[in-house]
Homo-oligomer: A and B are copies of this chain.
Amino acid sequence: MNEQHTAKAFDVDLQELSRMVAEMGGLAEKQVADAVDALAKRDTTMAQRVTASDNAIDVLQHEIEEKSVLTIARRQPMAVDLREIVGALRLANDLERVGDLAKNIAKRVIALNAEFPPPKLIRGVEHMTDLVLGQLKAVLDAYARRDDAKAMAVWRGDEEIDAVCTSVFRELLTYMMEDPRNITFCIHLMFCAKNIERMGDHATNIAETVHYIVDGAPITERRPKGETEISALTGTNA
């Protein structure tokens, strides 16, 4: 009876951890969408709100860390249960970084202020954001269902984001070369694009964590890796 009671309390702990991770995921997705929306709409008020909201994500990360550690100490879980908790710790880490990257984009929107780039230049960044939000949504869904196949699909899908990032860098580079007055906002957009590309890397990390939770073994497959933004910057002055 006592053992059953402990097992039930442990299940409640795990469910609560999963819920906190899902909540954090939802907040991170919203921050990403709002930051790039603020960029596209030149909305510095919205950007201010994004920088102010980042703290809620950081607080959740600390709560997840605390709850994970207390659950391990109290319940001394083994095998799959331990993976659930270690997984929650890793997911919270990646989601915190996604939030941070969104905040950095919002800071650039505020800095751009009056000097906004032409909408057509932002379109590439928006396209990258759509892809990353799709990846984040899919991988958080894979986590909610403990669906390894879906997680692996996200893991394999990062290549497209890298490819769009490379073409965004090429386009911005052309603009900078054409007219030095374009240089500063193009650099801001490059850093924004790079931030979104890194969000994609975190979606990939999250996919690896879901695989680890469900399967218990690291991924052995090699991830398809295309060009990166670094290649867009190479050889253009040759």
> CB within 8 Å of B: which residues of A?
65, 69, 72-74, 76-78, 82, 85-86, 89, 93, 107-108, 111-113, 115, 173, 176-177, 180-181, 183-185, 187-188, 190-191, 194, 230-231, 233-238
Contacts and interface: CB of A to CB of B under 8 A. Distances in A.
The 6 closest A-B pairs by CB, nearest first: A177-B180, A72-B72, A111-B230, A73-B76, A111-B234, A184-B233
A187 to B, nearest CB: 6
B176 A183 contact: yes
Nearest to A172: B187
Given A93-B93, A180-B177, A183-B177, A188 B233 contact: yes
A184 B234 contact: yes
Given A69-B86, A72-B69, A86-B69, A115 B191 contact: no
16 contacts: A65-B86, A69-B72, A69-B85, A76-B76, A89-B89, A111-B234, A112-B234, A113-B234, A115-B237, A176-B176, A176-B180, A177-B183, A180-B180, A184-B233, A187-B233, A188-B233
Nearest to A233: B184
Given A76-B76, A115-B238, A187-B190, 7 more contacts: A65-B89, A73-B78, A93-B93, A115-B235, A115-B237, A173-B183, A188-B230
Nearest to A218: B62
B73 A107 contact: no
A107 B230 contact: yes
